[in-house]
Amino acid sequence: MELSDRVNSIKPSTTLGVAARVKELKAQGVDVIGFGAGEPDFTTPENIIETAIEALREGKTHYAPVPGELNARAAIARKLKNENGIACSASDIVISTGAKQSIYLALQCLLDPGKGQEVIVPTPAWVSYFPMVSLAGGTVIEVPGAVDNDFRMTPEQLEQAITPRTRAMIINNPSNPCGTMYPPDEMRALGEVLAKHERITIISDEIYEKLVYGDCAPFSLGAMDSLAGRVITINGMSKAYAMTGWRIGYACSPAPDGDESPMAKAMAKLQSQMTSCITSFCYRAIIEALENSADAVESMRETFAKRGALMHGLLSAMPGLVCPKPTGAFYVFPDISAHFGKVSPEGRKIDSALTFAEALLEEAKVAVVPGNDFGEAGKNHVRLSFACSDENITEGCKRMGEWLRTLS
Ligand code: PMP
Ligand code: GLU
């Protein structure tokens, strides 16, 4: 069977690939420590699970409206208004099968092939943005971040990256894979630059907003009046509520002055031809998560904070690693390039993040994600997730440190 050029042009997700490889090795009985998975290791809080079971028992087994049940969309709008300062209403919200689908739909509704449209992405950035932009016909313009600045894009860098072809920007705060975040004043300064360029739409991926370890909450660009009508705020249940397998995400794209949102309408139209709605007994669980689960979220956040500090301390003590302190999400993204040019005990040549990650897995049985697919700025790095137990972190880092010391 002949496949389309479109699908042949992309790679499968590296992050999901590493997680799948770890599962496969474990099933074969290999004692592997996985730092690949980008998902909480906790089970969804009990009250959320019970709510979905009740909804199922009560017969929530039919198709729902395409953008989602109105009460769930209203709860999301309330959350965005109260917590993020975004002026919006239920009709601006489209609920989709994960934030991944929300971003995909948004890009499909924004871009056209053959028009030379550019999408600015500060990198290192989540692997899936790149194929999603290219599948929609756009070109990613990377703005590379520096490790000594926690990988944050400056307003000057942003200004320089903007051209007459810029159609959109995707910003992810806190960041996967960097594990760092923008202080609110820096995010506002980026917003000021964007305010001057009216044709640019901003996709603000805030999926890790609850997982922050510093003293400030992330600032939502959707709260800036000067950007009204141009921000699509993306979030979902996966990370904050340990609900990755439920597949629930949402996009909020209010029009200025409370008018009907053309973007929400367009995304729902596209979704109506793709997946219809999400699993219909989940809508009530969204409300339960948003309105009755703050304690569970906080307890998971505290655990992640401790694990992040543990992993960062262990990595920082290893030879040749440069590693910003995690301030958000559940990743660390050390620069490992000091080891390029070396040879492993089993004779593997380490000349890239890819060969580093392969050798580390084969020889020390520790799985990390090579930085190459997080953009050009990620090529000297590997990503480690600390969404796993203290024992795993301690044992995996011990193996990694010992292995690093054997490279010559
Ligand atoms: N954005 C970022 C930055 C992510 O890391 C992920 C990871 N899953 C997503 C979006 C998508 O999340 P989901 O589809 O599970 O809602
Ligand atoms: N976003 C997570 C990660 O980066 C989950 C896997 C994925 O969807 O990419 O690992």
Q: Per residue in 316-363, pLDDT tens? A: 999 999 999 999 999 999 999 999 999 999 999 999 999 999 999 999
322 lines ligand 2 (CB under 6 A): no
- Mean pLDDT of the region 88-117: 98
pLDDT bracket for residue 88 (50, 70, 90): very high
Domain ranges for the chain, please list them.
5-43+295-404, 62-291
- Mean pLDDT of the region 195-201: 97
Query: Domain 62-291 adopts which CATH fold?
Result: Aspartate Aminotransferase; domain 2 (3.40.640)
Q: Over the chain, what HEC string results?
A: CCCCHHHHCCCCCHHHHHHHHHHHHHHCCCCCEECCCCCCCCCCCHHHHHHHHHHHHCCCCCCCCCCCCHHHHHHHHHHHHHHHCCCCCHHHEEEECCHHHHHHHHHHHHCCCCCCCEEEEEECCCCCHHHHHHHCCCEEEEEECCHHHCCCCCHHHHHHHCCCCEEEEEEECCCCCCCCCCCHHHHHHHHHHHHCCCCCEEEEECCCCCCECCCCCCCCHHHCHHHCCCEEEEEECCCCCCCHHHCCEEEECCCHHHCCCHHHHHHHHHHHCCCCCCCHHHHHHHHHHHHHCHHHHHHHHHHHHHHHHHHHHHHHCCCCCECCCCCECCEECCECHHHCCEECCCCCEECCHHHHHHHHHHHHCEECEEHHHHCHHHCCEEEEECCCCHHHHHHHHHHHHHHHHHCC
215, HSE (Cβ side, Cα atoms, 13 Å)? 0
- Which atom in ligand 2 lies closest to the alpha carbon of residue 177? 4
Predicted pLDDT at 96 = 98
User: Nearest residue CA, atom 9 of ligand 2?
Assistant: 15
Percent of the chain with pLDDT over 70: 100
Q: Which ligand is nearest to the CA of 16?
A: 2
* Angstrom distance (rounded) from CA 134 to CA 364: 36
236 lines ligand 1 (CB under 6 A): yes
Predicted pLDDT at 274 = 97
CA of 38 to the centre of ligand 2 (A): 5
176 lines ligand 2 (CB under 6 A): yes
CA of 341 to the centre of ligand 2 (A): 30
Predicted pLDDT at 258 = 83
- Which atom in ligand 1 lies closest to the alpha carbon of residue 172? 3
Predicted pLDDT at 37 = 83
69 lines ligand 1 (CB under 6 A): no
Query: Domain 5-43+295-404 adopts which CATH fold?
Result: Aspartate Aminotransferase, domain 1 (3.90.1150)
* Angstrom distance (rounded) from CA 38 to CA 59: 33
Predicted pLDDT at 401 = 97
244 lines ligand 1 (CB under 6 A): yes
CA of 164 to the centre of ligand 2 (A): 32
pLDDT in tens, 260-305: 999 999 999 999 999 999 999 999 999 999 999 999 999 999 999 9
Measured between alpha carbons, how far is residue 35 from residues 180, 319, 360, 405 in Å?
Answer: 17, 19, 12, 20
- Mean pLDDT of the region 111-116: 97
- Mean pLDDT of the region 2-13: 95
- Mean pLDDT of the region 96-116: 98
CA of 319 to the centre of ligand 1 (A): 32
Q: Which ligand is nearest to the CA of 241?
A: 1
13 lines ligand 2 (CB under 6 A): yes
Tokens in use for 87?
């002026």
Predicted pLDDT at 80 = 98
Q: In the predicted model, is pLDDT for residue 27 greater than 90?
A: yes
Predicted pLDDT at 257 = 83
